[in-house]
Chain A
Amino acid sequence: MIRYLHRYGLLSILFLTDVGLLLLSIFLFFLAADYPDMARMFPRLALVMIMVVTLLDMICFMRDQEAKTPSKEREEGFEAVRPGQQLKVLYMVALIFIFFFFMLLFGLALGTFLFLMLSGWTLGYRKFKTLIFSAVIITAFVYVIFRVIMNSFLPEGLIFSITGG
């Protein structure tokens, strides 16, 4: 059984992605069933198209696997990724949330500065002086553009409003 699954690439992440998308589109198709006619027609049409095309993609994939001629594009997602790099991607996603939290807590300028320092260090930059210098320059640029020129509304910093600073 497992051999059969491997032969047609049915355990490959690309095939499983197609399966996931197919299931998602089926779920959304039935979710839209209760909508009024005019509200459901277009999304359902798109979902049917997705289902048909996904099935075609799955068939093509299985055919390619059986013929052992994986096309270039199928390998694209699996270029060798250095160990630790994927962990850094996860760190970055977490850092984006942390930045927003910093901005709310410390305001635009200090929040941006702290975020740039923290993320530069986390991503492996170890020249501390350059890091501080670049963080100061970029923060000043961001401040001038968003606060001075565009006069945008941005968080002042919760910590400063509490302390009255």
Chain B
Amino acid sequence: MYSLEAWISAAGIVFQWQNMAMVFGVSLIGLTIGFLPGIGPLTALPLFLPITYGMQPGPALILLAILYMSTTYGGSLSAILLNTPGTAASAATCLDGYPMAKQGKGGVAIGISMMSSFVGGFIGLAGLIFLSPIIADFALKFQPAEYFMLAVLGLVLIAASAKGSVLKGFIAGGFGFVVSSIGMDMMTGYSRFTFGSVYLKGGIPLVPMIIGLFAFSEVLALIESGDRTISEKGALSGRIIDGLKTPFRYIKTVLRSSLIGLGIGTIPGEGAAVANFTAYLAEARASKHPEAFGTGIPEGVIAPEASNNACVAGALIPTLTLGIPGGGVAAVFMGGIMIHGLNPGFELFTRHQDILTTLFFGLLVANLLLLICGSLLSPYAAKVTVIPISILAPTIVALGVISTYIMRSQILDVVAAIAAGIMGYFMKKYGYSTVAFLVAFILSPIAEKSFYQAVLLADGSYLTFAVRPISGTLLLLTILALVLPPILKKFRKPESAGSD
């Protein structure tokens, strides 16, 4: 596949001091940027794209890929410590990471996150290097009917697993869908629910929604709690080293989640945001104690963290092999490839193998460096939990407002984020899942577009979703996801009653 000479040459390039300094520097910058609520790879990559113009293609692609990986790493830190995912890819990490931090195990949770991310990233990279032709071939079989069913399955799984009331999970998911439909309809160009507003015609952007729903609503909840700090002084007793060892006690979880992340990453449009929730839910379903998820258990951190980092590598598979970006960030990455005069696909794998091996080798080194840097620097990041809330809350607000504004320099984006924050605050207060809302918000454009495309391709027949083998399987899984939990609950009830 790739010759030994190519790997040796790649090592020679990566280990040049300038490139090593770049790998180290960009890893640190990415970790810091990822830590900022709402600022993720999609914000960072375009800003760094101009820097790569004057660089050789290999190091330029390494820079972009490391930034992608390190921002995903950094996003998990704020998810664990502030219940504010730095990126949507870390949203599921909040569910168990934050409760762990509140229990004084912030250090352990970060250690778990770092090692899971490392192993997940490594498995993802192995998949990228060795399995890319096979996986890309399978992803090619996905047509609109499959995308639609995958989105529906994702929505059902998220809503059904919402903490508290399942019905409220579905209500939140439904509204996520409706809010996502605000703006110009992509099929007809008709304005929906815009009430004459020019701003709403473009739809509500994702970044203000994420910052509002997670960062601002959390700030309001923190203030209302009346607590002085997130965690009491001295409560950060959990050691990172303990966390680093933990994933090795859950090998099955790590492997399962990494493979889920890798698989989802290869499907265009289904990014790390979907991967981390899917892995989390799969783990909860496979667990003998699903009720413990959400209370602060290691599996709840391992699953999303291993999957989102594996997904980063997975998203590069269709981008590099087929020229189909696996998501928004991969699309920016593809732009980075093209500005260097390279064409993704067959040509890249045959004529520019040297560049590819340099990229792969650089990513393997960066993955290890991120584990080391993350583990060394995280104790300092963990200190944020003992900062007084009256200082921490305004800081999160300031970062959130600025992060929202720099995306498009639109004042109304900030207003949208504030509105989403107030909505998120009340949703949390009255038991409506903000996670279900956000996932529906992300998935619904994919679902809607794919639905119409699938029906058009099938000459108006809705049966296409049931008769195609992959979409039919996904449909079956969706029905099972809806029907099985209440049945299982009924069967389990007498047992638990007995044990009580």
Contact = CB atoms under 8 A, between A and B. Distances in A.
Given A47-B174, A77-B430, A85-B226, A93 B220 contact: yes
Given A47-B178, A50-B174, A138-B391, 5 more contacts: A25-B174, A39-B192, A50-B171, A76-B429, A150-B47
Contact of A123 (B177, B394, B421, B425): B394
Given A42-B451, A46-B178, A74 B431 contact: yes
Contacts of B399: 142
21 contacts: A14-B431, A36-B185, A38-B452, A39-B187, A39-B192, A53-B167, A54-B171, A77-B429, A77-B431, A85-B226, A92-B393, A96-B401, A96-B421, A100-B401, A100-B414, A138-B391, A138-B398, A142-B398, A145-B33, A150-B406, A152-B406
Given A28-B178, A36-B188, A125-B391, A116 B224 contact: no
Interface string B433-456: 000000000001001100110000
Given A73-B431, A116-B395, A119-B397, A42 B177 contact: yes
Contact of B401 (A47, A103, A151): A103
Interface string A36-67: 10111011001101100110110010000000
B36 interface: yes
A35 B192 contact: yes
Contacts of B448: 42
A146 interface: yes
A15 B32 CA distance: 43
A100 B415 CA distance: 10
B177 A43 contact: yes
A137 to B, nearest CB: 10
A50 B409 CA distance: 34
Interface residues of B, number: 60
Contacts of B167: 53-54, 56-57, 60
Nearest to B440: A46
A124 B390 contact: yes
Nearest to B449: A42
The 8 A-B pairs at the shortest CB distance, nearest first, are namely A123-B390, A119-B394, A73-B164, A50-B174, A125-B390, A46-B177, A39-B185, A152-B406
Contact of A92 (B164, B397, B405): B397
Contact of B430 (A14, A47, A54): A14
A47 B179 CA distance: 11
A142 B395 CA distance: 9
A154 B224 CA distance: 31
B170 interface: yes
B88 interface: no
Nearest to A80: B226
A82 B244 CA distance: 39
Size category of the A interface is 35 or more
A38 to B, nearest CB: 5
Contacts of A5: none
A95 B171 CA distance: 31
Contacts of B405: 100, 103, 154
B81 interface: no
A110 interface: no
B174 A46 contact: yes
Interface string A80-107: 0110011011001101110110010000
A149 B29 contact: yes
A93 B401 CA distance: 12
Contacts of A103: 401-402, 405
A100 B411 CA distance: 9
Contacts of B32: 145
Interface string B152-171: 00000000000011011011
A33 B17 CA distance: 64
Nearest to B174: A50
B28 to A, nearest CB: 10
B463 interface: no
Interface string A136-165: 001000100110011111100000000000
B47 A152 contact: yes
Given A116-B398, A125-B388, A43 B171 contact: no
Nearest to B176: A46
A148 B368 CA distance: 28
Nearest to B445: A42
Contacts of A134: 387, 391
Contacts of A73: 164-165, 168, 431
B394 A38 contact: no
Contacts of A145: 32-33, 36
B145 to A, nearest CB: 16
Contacts of B185: 35-36, 38-39
